[in-house]
Chains A and B, each alone.
Chain A
Amino acid sequence: MGLEQFKNRNVGQQNYVMLDLEHTPQTGMGKFRQVVRRTFKAELFVGLWVTMREMINALFRGQMHTVKYPLEKLPISPRYRAIHEMLRLLESGHYRCIGCGLCEKICISNCITMDTRYDENQRKEVSEYTINFGRCIFCGYCAEVCPELAIVHGPRYETASEQRASFSLFEDMLTPIDKLNLQQEYDGFGAVTPNADENIKKTPLAY
């Protein structure tokens, strides 16, 4: 099953058919004729044929709609906003987050908590970073505001937990260093648009 059928939002573009509803007969003869017509009309068999056709479609033409959920899953849109991920720089493998704190500021449910410090090179590094998923409303603002595309939304949507508050640590969300080559670039909310290059302007210093 592909994504295409979910992407068709053009409801209302179909060809609607106006039903030709007949008037209720007034005379006795008219009523009798209606009864006879309805009794001998093959309409009921059309219904039988439709269900049989659907059964054949389902069994022999692979149009079964059931998705056996925990065993198979529907593809989700790249714009889907589920549990966050922290991405790494592809070249160095260092995490992308620069500790700017924008995500913490913008988070409307105050669920991001972070702390930073200077490392030995006087660069900022993240010492604490947690997201309380019991509070997060998955609005996507943090991913949108992040200047480094460091915090993004992943596809993990099965988030049932035993506790109301469930914190996720920086290390949990960070791409594992050995899986770096599998890291997917996020093209959802706040990601670089395909025509981003055209929109780049020179900085004022150049003129």
Chain B
Amino acid sequence: MEVVTYTNVETFVQHLPEVTAVGVWIKALIILAVISAIAGFGTFIERKVLAFMQRRLGPMHVGPYGLLQLIADGIKLFTKEDIVPQNANRLIFMVAPIITAATAFIALAAVPVFPDFTIPQWVPVLGGTFVPSIAADLNIGILFVLGMMAAGLYGPLLAGMAQANKWGIIGAARTAVQFLSYEVVTGLSILAPIMLVGSLSFVDFNNYQQGGIADWIIWKQPVAFILFLIAGFAETNRTPFDLLEHEAEVVSGYATEYSGMRWGMFFIGEYANMITISIIAAVVFLGGYSEEGIGWLTIILKVGFFFFLMLWIRAAWPHVRPDQLMWLCWKVLMPIAVINVVVTGIVMMV
């Protein structure tokens, strides 16, 4: 990640200092630390919100309002025995969760998380280092993130096939089904905004929508927004598309045989993906971050809204069958997405 492609320096950060390798390293560490913490906190928020929606209290007893539940969970995950089942393929079984977690974090390298800042001069050694808001401001950011998140599906796929368990196999098969279904819709739905902006860089998307709420792409591309949201739910493996590990049907799907921290890595990967999808939706469709006004708070609010939406929908909606997912994606969403792209093209030409 030393090679920082920085094509948009002229358009965006003329007044900002140079991005150094140290800055990128610091940024990477910040992302890793903060997103893992937020992912952990996300599990707490999820339990709380689901509980409130079912008129329960949720975790209450560890710490004030159950806040320290996270630490209790962490201790439990870290100290649990790391079991590899007898007939499993040891190597793949142990590598699969790392794929999920790693790809989730690599995807986060190319999205804007947290404002950029300069470390004050009085800090020893690192003083004066500029830490950018995007670790790697690729000019093909969206393509990179979507590709990485798609690669993340190898985690469940390999995990399910490596564990010598029929539920795992079913989970892996469903991963393939899901992957084949939503990936087309994700690409096609985001193609229309990309045509409008004419760039794959998140910074360009952000700058395109700087003129206030009226400039948001969601008003120009409402269909693409809804399609992207649906595909995003499938991508992050959330209800109503949580086929991979639906407890009521396939015990725990691809994660059946996993325990302890390996299972925890799947979990962290899933939550990091939720955050990534929320950020993409916020930047691409809802105006992203802005430098003036309340600034970075806006994107945090937007990301928070999408995160809440995912929990909300989990509380409200039943999940679909695998065949229904394929039916939905190929027979309903893909035609709509294609029509949307064609209409966008015609409108742009005229």
Contacts and interface: CB of A to CB of B under 8 A. Distances in A.
A51 B56 contact: no
A169 interface: no
B57 interface: yes
Given A44-B317, A47-B317, A68 B52 contact: no
A55 B317 contact: no
A54 B53 CA distance: 6
A150 to B, nearest CB: 41
Nearest to B331: A35
A65 B53 contact: no
B330 interface: no
B197 interface: no
Contact of A51 (B53, B60, B331): B53
A55 B53 contact: yes
Contact of A63 (B53, B55, B57, B313): B55
B55 A52 contact: no
A21 interface: no
A3 interface: no
A52 B312 CA distance: 8
Given A35-B332, A39-B332, A50 B55 contact: no
Interface string A38-62: 0100001001101110110111000
Nearest to B313: A48
A59 B317 CA distance: 21
Contact of A64 (B56, B313, B316): B56
Contacts of A63: 55
Contacts of A47: 316-317
B321 to A, nearest CB: 15
B54 interface: yes
Interface residues of A, number: 18
Contacts of B57: 64, 66, 68
A63 B56 CA distance: 9
Given A44-B317, A47-B316, A48-B313, A68 B60 contact: yes
Contacts of B45: none
Nearest to A47: B316
Contacts of B56: 58, 64-66
Contacts of A65: 55-56
A48 B310 CA distance: 11
Contact of A58 (B55, B312, B332): B55
Nearest to B57: A66
A173 B226 CA distance: 67
Contact of B52 (A35, A39, A50, A55): A55
Nearest to B55: A58
Interface in A63-85: 63-66, 68
A51 B312 contact: yes
B164 interface: no
A51 B332 contact: no
A59 B60 CA distance: 14
Interface of B: 49, 52-57, 60, 312-313, 315-317, 331-332
> What 7 A-B pairs are tightest by C-beta distance, nearest first?
A66-B57, A58-B55, A47-B316, A51-B316, A51-B53, A51-B315, A65-B55
20 contacts: A44-B317, A47-B317, A48-B313, A50-B316, A51-B53, A51-B312, A51-B315, A51-B316, A55-B49, A55-B52, A55-B53, A55-B55, A58-B55, A58-B56, A59-B52, A64-B55, A65-B56, A66-B56, A66-B60, A68-B60
Interface of A: 35, 39, 44, 47-48, 50-52, 54-55, 57-59, 63-66, 68
